[in-house]
Amino acid sequence: MSHYFFAAKIPSDTKVKMKEEMEKLKASYPFRRWVHHEDLHITLAFLGHAPEDKLEEAKALVKESIQDFEAFNMSVAGLGTFGRKDQPRIFWAGVSKSDELSILRDRVFQACEKAGFPLETRPFSPHITLARNWEGKAPFQKQEETLSFNNYEFLLDEVVLYRTNMAKNPKYEAVEIYHLK
């Protein structure tokens, strides 16, 4: 069963640079599954399974809510984890603090809620998931060489509705693309 989510798209050239860094990190960080570089994104609203009528309503409401939104610059800002410190569930790249990203997320999130989707209530913690499920024999420890992830700037100019397909790699398929001004 497919799941859907709205995300800020990471430009292709930035994904390629991040892929190169991820390849270097794999030797030091044994995670069970590394994300395909084409699947890198910043989640704005996770819908889960979506009935067609609610999905169509969400698409229309999101389009309306961000139609006047201007593209803005972002940068990748360091690395972190979610889950247990010694055995993290998620290894991620952070992004620079951005009022624009918070406002964009709020607009997308509220449009999806208005369409009837029950969304997560956790505070927004923007990130780009790189890998999942630590498998190292020793406890996880972040190393200093990982700081090279701080240098990537990019223009955030698209929001995408993605559909998941767990049998494929990359796993995410763009269903709808919304261009920012």
Q: Residues with catalytic annotation?
A: 41, 127
3-state secondary structure of 135: coil
* Distance in angstroms (rounded) separating the CA atoms of residues 6 and 109: 9
- The secondary element (H helix, E strand) that includes residue 82 is strand 72-83
* Under 8 Å between Cβ of 111 and 64: yes
- Backbone φ and ψ of 71, nearest 5°: -60, 155
Backbone dihedral angles phi then psi of residue 100, each to the nearest 5 degrees: -60, -45
What letters, b where the CB count within 10 A reaches 16 and e where it falls short, cover 43-59? bbbbbeebeeebbebbb
Of 152, 173, 169, which Cα lies nearest the Cα of 161? 173
